[in-house]
């Protein structure tokens, strides 16, 4: 009887543990997807606007498609990589502050990010102004380089749009209010599709119509986000403050590390597109490679939703000081991301050739894309793993370490392998893509090792000390401002009293 009773108690305990695990997974999943879904919607529709523009330009002409692909893949990835990376510092700082309950600091961090990112964007403007001579200097075809001079100017307003849109998105995401960003982005995407059709096909405005529509719809997102912050974020947005002008160095340092980490990865793809421009039939090579990159990037936008969830969950739990919940969140996010990666892996294997006709009607380009479908399927699977690992690193504040990893994996391994396979072994675009995969595979292996080695209890302690240090600085700055205001009031009273 005693043995039966003991076995029954053990069975009941195991059942309770299973039930508790299911409940914890369900609760964590709801938290993850409350962050991930709006982020995915934002990423997919925002990038979808670029894809729609490319699609309309592709039906205008091959040169316009190749030119837009070259600028988008090289210039915009180059600049956007810097700004996305730098804005991720906003997500790290705001996420940890929100987890620690220091809400008033989030608005200060947002304003500091506007200052730092705005200056960076201004420095980048000459790259767009002088795009044509730069592409000629890089040895691109004369016709493509000349067309680039016109299209690149349309990206200047978008440059400043990125500064505000990305940082406000991170600000809202850190406090679990990014649903508004998702809906604004979806609305802008639908509007862009309609406007592009009217301006390009009905009014025959060509390149100006497609690019004008893109700019209008992107700035609608900025205005909408700012209105929401002013009206619906009373705890985290206290208005503009002079405190944002002080102690900028921690924000600059983290922004630089974040920018380097992200842009080294985005530049990797840009370098490969540039290399495709030196192949035989450069226009076809660029078209095929950039279309595959766009498909890969669309799936990666979904994975970036889980990256955002990983950043926020890790940063929030670090701020709260809960290492156990943090580890559980990482395991849950990684499992769900791999499942999504497997789904897209199967889709790419089954629909490789059909994808090409969404972007072009050229049979030569479609044939090249079809030959890359197997490699593209592997890429989307890798995305699902790499995205979550990167999110964990950003949420922890390991941006500088990951930047070194990206530099080694992509530029010391990936690019040389791609060049050898493409030009020495004459595998052309296929060789470049194999080189791309080799760099990403090595990056995943190293990231797994880094995350596995992290002492989360130590990271909780470090985060607590850093937040307390910054909180004291903010309080000192506020006290100084109050003292200055009192002194000004006293001077005004003395002046009034001294009047006859």
Closest listed residue to residue 114, CA positions, set 76, 39, 168, 172? 168
Distance in angstroms (rounded) separating the CA atoms of residues 34 and 46: 19
Contact 105, 474 (CB under 8 A): yes
In a domain, 392, yes or no: yes
At 4 the pLDDT is 62
Look at residue 500 in the predicted model and tell me its pLDDT: 52
Q: What is the pLDDT at residue 93? A: 84
382 phi-psi bin (left φ>0, alpha ψ -120 to 50, beta other)? alpha
Token representation of residue 421:
């396979």
| List of residues 6+ apart from 127 with CB closer than 8 A | 75, 78, 79, 134
Q: Residues 15-74: pLDDT tens digits?
A: 655 667 888 889 889 888 988 888 888 877 887 898 898 888 887 877 777 788 778 766
Contact between residue 443 and residue 409 where contact means Cβ atoms under 8 Å apart? yes
CA 406/CA 395 separation, integer angstroms = 17
Residue-range definition of the domain harbouring residue 60: 28-475
Q: Over pLDDT 70: what percentage of the chain?
A: 85
Q: Contact, 319 vs 98, CB < 8 A?
A: yes
Give the list of residues 6+ apart from residue 13 with CB closer than 8 angstroms, or none.
none
| 494: in domain | no
Question: For residue 3, is it within any domain?
Answer: no
pLDDT in tens, 338-365: 998 899 888 888 776 677 777 666 777 7
Residue 480 in any domain: the answer is no
- Identify whether 282 is part of a domain: yes
CA torsion through residues 476, 400, 459, 114, sign: positive
Give the torsion sign (CA, 83, 397, 387, 102): negative
Task: Tell me the pLDDT of the chain (500 aa) as tens digits.
Answer: 455 656 565 655 656 556 678 888 898 898 889 888 888 888 778 878 988 988 888 878 777 777 887 787 666 667 777 887 788 778 888 888 888 888 888 999 899 999 999 998 999 899 888 888 888 887 777 788 888 888 889 999 999 999 999 999 999 988 888 889 999 999 999 999 999 999 998 898 988 999 999 999 999 999 999 999 999 998 999 889 888 887 788 778 878 877 777 777 777 777 777 777 777 676 777 777 777 777 787 777 778 788 888 988 888 888 888 888 888 999 999 999 999 889 988 888 877 667 777 766 677 777 777 777 788 889 889 988 998 998 898 888 888 888 889 889 989 999 899 889 988 888 887 888 899 899 999 999 999 999 888 888 888 888 777 766 655 555 555 555 555 555 555 665 555 555 55
Calpha distance 140→275 (Å, rounded)? 10
Q: What pLDDT shows up at residue 225?
A: 95
Supply the pLDDT for residue 186.
Answer: 93
Mention every residue, 6+ apart, whose C-beta is less than 8 A from residue 302. 40, 43, 44, 340, 344
The reported pLDDT for the residue numbered 2 is 56
Number of structural domains the chain divides into: 1
Report yes or no on 335 lying in a domain: yes
Q: Is residue 409 part of a domain?
A: yes
Q: Is residue 498 part of a domain?
A: no
């Amino acid at each position: 009887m005693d043995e039966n009773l003991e076995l029954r108690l053990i069975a009941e305990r195991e059942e309770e543990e299973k039930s508790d695990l299911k409940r914890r997974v369900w609760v964590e999943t709801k938290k993850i997807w409350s962050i991930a879904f709006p982020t995915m919607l934002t990423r997919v529709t925002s990038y979808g606007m670029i894809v729609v523009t490319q699609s309309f330009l592709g039906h205008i002409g091959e040169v316009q498609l190749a030119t837009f692909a070259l600028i988008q893949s090289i210039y915009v990835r180059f600049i956007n990589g810097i700004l996305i990376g730098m804005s991720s510092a906003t997500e790290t700082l705001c996420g940890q502050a929100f987890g620690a309950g220091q809400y008033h600091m989030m608005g200060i961090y947002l304003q500091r990010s506007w200052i730092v990112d705005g200056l960076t964007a201004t420095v980048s403007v000459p790259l767009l102004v002088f795009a044509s001579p730069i592409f000629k200097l890089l040895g691109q075809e004369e016709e493509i380089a000349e067309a680039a001079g016109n299209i690149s100017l349309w990206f200047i307003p978008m440059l400043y749009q990125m500064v505000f849109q990305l940082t406000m998105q991170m600000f809202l995401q850190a406090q679990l209010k990014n649903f508004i960003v998702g809906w604004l982005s979806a609305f802008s995407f639908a509007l862009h599709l309609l406007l592009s059709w009217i301006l390009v096909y009905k009014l025959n405005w060509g390149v100006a119509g497609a690019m004008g529509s893109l700019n209008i719809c992107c700035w609608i997102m900025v205005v909408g986000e700012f209105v929401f912050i002013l009206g619906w974020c009373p705890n985290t947005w206290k208005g503009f403050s002079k405190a944002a002008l002080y102690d900028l160095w921690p924000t600059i340092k983290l922004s630089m590390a974040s920018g380097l980490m992200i842009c080294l990865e985005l530049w990797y793809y840009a370098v490969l597109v540039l290399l495709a421009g030196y192949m035989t039939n450069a226009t076809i090579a660029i078209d095929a490679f950039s279309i595959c990159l766009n498909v890969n990037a669309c799936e990666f936008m979904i994975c970036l939703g889980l990256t955002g969830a990983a950043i926020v969950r890790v940063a929030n739990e670090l701020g709260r000081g809960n290492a156990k919940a943090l580890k559980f969140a990482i395991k849950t996010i990684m499992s769900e991301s791999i499942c999504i990666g497997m789904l897209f892996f199967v889709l790419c294997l089954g629909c490789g050739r059909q994808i090409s006709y969404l972007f072009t009607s050229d049979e030569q380009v479609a044939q090249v894309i079809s030959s890359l479908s197997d490699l593209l399927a592997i890429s989307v699977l890798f995305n699902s793993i790499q995205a979550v690992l990167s999110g964990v690193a950003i949420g922890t504040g390991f941006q500088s370490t990951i930047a070194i990893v990206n530099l080694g994996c992509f530029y010391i391994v990936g690019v040389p392998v791609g060049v050898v396979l493409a030009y020495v072994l004459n595998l052309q675009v296929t060789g470049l893509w194999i080189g791309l995969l080799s760099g990403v595979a090595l990056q995943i292996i190293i990231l797994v090792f880094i995350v596995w080695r992290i002492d989360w209890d130590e990271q909780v302690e470090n985060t607590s000390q850093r937040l307390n240090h910054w909180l004291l600085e903010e309080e000192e700055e506020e006290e100084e401002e109050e003292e200055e205001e009192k002194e000004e009031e006293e001077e005004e009273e003395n002046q009034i009293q001294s009047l006859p």
